[in-house]
Chain A
Amino acid sequence: DGGITQSPKYLFRKEGQNVTLSCEQNLNHDAMYWYRQDPGQGLRLIYYSQIVNDFQKGDIAEGYSVSREKKESFPLTVTSAQKNPTAFYLCASSLRDRGFSPLHFGNGTRLTVT
């Protein structure tokens, strides 16, 4: 079955370390997105990509980096520059040129930095 796979489900890191969250999709979607979810703040857009080798900053990109070398993959790196990295991270994808296309989400990664 087609879907989006985020791994791992839980991730623990020490402060000052970079960490990479994986996101893979087999839906043949062009567009992929990373969101951060904190209590009371909903989903906030970190980065998004419409095509391979191209991506745009979202509303809270500082302290994060991404790459899009393959259509299926959109990993997110949380760098040591991110001041408050502990959060729930959601990856999503959609068809690019169909406006009615909803976002399809992965199951999320809970990152805890101590």
Chain B
Amino acid sequence: AQTVTQSQPEMSVQEAETVTLSCTYDTSESDYYLFWYKQPPSRQMILVIRQEAYKQQNATENRFSVNFQKAAKSFSLKISDSQLGDAAMYFCAYRIRTSGTYKYIFGTGTRLKVLA
């Protein structure tokens, strides 16, 4: 089965602190790509960070970084120095190639609250 699991429906973090959102996935494919998206109250989906599964080095984008554990099929997102604007729904996703087509599978999301 192709699934993405985000086990934390909701998380809270104090402004300027660090928070980690968890994500695990299940795929039998060897070639895939992983993504984190942010959905603020406007409901616009915004790409936060992406990771190629064949790369061991964890991706980093400014205050956002990932901890990619391929063997464990884990892809957590760390947000450092949290800001009020980080409050949003966060979705983990992966892209796989299946039967010659590409699909993106999403998790159920984690709602992040940032406390002033």
Contact = CB atoms under 8 A, between A and B. Distances in A.
A108 B104 contact: no
Interface stretch (A19-27, A42-50, A68-76, A77-85): A42-50
Interface in A28-51: 31, 33, 35, 40-45, 48, 50
A1 B105 CA distance: 28
A103 B45 CA distance: 9
B106 A99 contact: no
Interface string B24-56: 000000011101010000111101001010000
B108 A100 contact: no
Nearest to B42: A107
A105 B44 contact: yes
Given A42-B109, A102-B47, A107-B44, A94 B102 contact: yes
Contact of B106 (A35, A50, A107, A108): A35
A76 to B, nearest CB: 16
How extensive is the interface on chain A, given as a class?
20 to 34
A48 B45 CA distance: 18
A40 B91 contact: no
A67 to B, nearest CB: 17
B78 interface: no
